[in-house]
């Protein structure tokens, strides 16, 4: 046994609970003055702790408080069935309210689901770009000439923000044809969608300023454009960067 090992055992040695190590411990102490001194000091501390009256008296009234608390607990056990019935109705009501809230949120999220799916396809390079273009005016001319009804009327220029135009993608969204405009800065992507203001599920400020929100890890910026349109930008870049990027001047 080394000195370092004995130091781990010294308390047990002093307390007489070294078990099968007893012989090893005795042998080490017989040859080590330093550990013998260590043992003596531990004996002194142990005896001091066990000889003094270090018990702290419980404050007056603590026993009464404990007993009162236990009586209350005991009584609540006997009253449990009634409470459970009451709690069950509250629980069911809460469950119903939660389910309703989930449905509402699901519907609100649901309207962004096709855009989230399109964004993720674009970020994997799997979104079919119907009209590749590097100039906004070029893509806008294509949109105006294309026979499908819908938005956008114009294409945002994000080149000053470091995002180059990749092109436009025509997508079948529920109840409408979407014209998605795709941008990239080489690392992050932004997909722009135009939606009908009347069908947009979130409240937009009367001032016309943008709102930022997240759905399923995708960050959105929505801005009212005129009476009937809402410009929605979607990205998975961090929200603070996204806000800094598009939060200043209104898109467009």
Tokens describing residue 183:
């941008």
Question: Considering the rule CB under 8 A, would residue 15 count as an interface residue with other proteins?
Answer: yes
Told to check if 25 binds other proteins by CB under 8 A, we report no
Nearest CA to 252 out of 194, 187, 169, 168 is that of: 194
Joined tokens for residue 198: 């009347």
> Should residue 175 be labelled a site residue for other proteins when binding is judged by CB under 8 A?
no
120, 234 in Cβ contact below 8 A? Answer: no
51 vs 160, which CB is nearer to other proteins?
51
Given a contact cutoff of 8 angstroms between Cβ atoms, the answer to whether 191 and 180 are in contact is: yes
How large is the greatest C-alpha to C-alpha distance in the chain, in angstroms? 101
> By the 8 A CB rule, do 149 and 194 touch?
no
Report how far apart, in Å, the C-alpha atoms of 251 and of each of 11, 61, 67, 163, 222 are.
73, 69, 68, 13, 9
d(CA 43, CA 208): 80
Beta strand 176-184 with 229-235 is: unpaired
104 binds other proteins (CB under 8 A): no
* Contact between 46 and other proteins per CB under 8 A: yes
Residue 70 interacting with other proteins (CB under 8 A): yes
* The only residue of 22, 26, 36, 40 in contact with other proteins, by rule CB under 8 A: 40
Contact call for residues 182 and 189 (beta carbons, < 8 A): yes
First to last CA, the chain: 80
User: Binding of other proteins at residue 48 (CB under 8 A)?
Assistant: yes
Site membership for other proteins, residue 81 (CB under 8 A): no
Residue 9 binding other proteins, by CB under 8 A: yes
Q: What distance in Å separates the CA atoms of residue 62 and residue 247, rounded to the nearest whole number? A: 60
Q: Is 73 in the site for other proteins (CB under 8 A)?
A: yes
- The answer to whether residue 102 forms part of the interface with other proteins (CB under 8 A) is no
From the list 39-47, 80-88, 149-157, 204-212, the region that binds other proteins by CB under 8 A is 39-47
Is 2 a binding residue for other proteins by CB under 8 A? The answer is no
Among 30, 58, 203, 206, binds other proteins (CB under 8 A): 58
Does 182 help bind other proteins (rule: CB under 8 A)? no
Q: How far is the CB of 51 from other proteins (least distance, A)?
A: 9
Piece in contact with other proteins (CB under 8 A), picked from 47-55, 136-144, 191-199, 244-252: 47-55
**26 belongs to the binding site for other proteins (CB under 8 A):** no
Q: Would you call 183 helix, strand, or coil by DSSP?
A: strand
**Is 59 an interacting residue with respect to other proteins (CB under 8 A)?**
yes
Return residues touching other proteins (CB under 8 A): 4, 7-12, 14-15, 17, 37-38, 40-42, 44-46, 48-50, 52-59, 62-63, 65-67, 69-71, 73-74, 77-78
């Amino acid at each position: 046994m080394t000195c370092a090992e004995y130091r781990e055992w010294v308390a047990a040695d002093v307390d007489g609970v070294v078990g099968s190590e007893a012989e090893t411990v005795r042998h080490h102490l017989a040859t080590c003055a330093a550990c013998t001194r260590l043992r003596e000091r531990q004996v002194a501390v142990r005896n001091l702790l066990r000889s003094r009256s270090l018990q702290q008296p419980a404050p007056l009234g603590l026993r009464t408080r404990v007993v009162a608390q236990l009586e209350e607990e005991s009584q609540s056990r006997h009253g449990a069935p009634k409470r459970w019935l009451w709690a069950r109705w509250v629980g069911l009501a809460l469950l119903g309210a939660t389910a309703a809230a989930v449905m509402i949120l699901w519907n609100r999220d649901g309207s962004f689901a096709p855009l989230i799916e399109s964004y993720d396809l674009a970020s994997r390079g799997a979104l079919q770009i119907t009209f590749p273009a590097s100039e906004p005016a070029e893509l806008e001319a294509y949109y105006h000439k294309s026979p499908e009804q819908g938005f956008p009327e114009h294409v945002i220029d994000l080149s000053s923000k470091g995002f180059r135009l990749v092109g436009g993608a025509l997508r079948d969204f529920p109840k409408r044809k979407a014209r998605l405009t795709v941008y990239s800065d080489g690392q992050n992507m932004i997909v722009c969608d135009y939606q009908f203001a009347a069908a947009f599920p979130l409240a937009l400020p009367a001032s016309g300023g943008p709102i930022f929100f997240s759905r399923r890890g995708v960050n959105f910026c929505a801005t009212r454009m005129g009476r009937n349109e809402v410009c929605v930008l979607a990205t998975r870049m961090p929200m603070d960067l996204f806000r800094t990027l598009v939060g200043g001047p209104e898109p467009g």
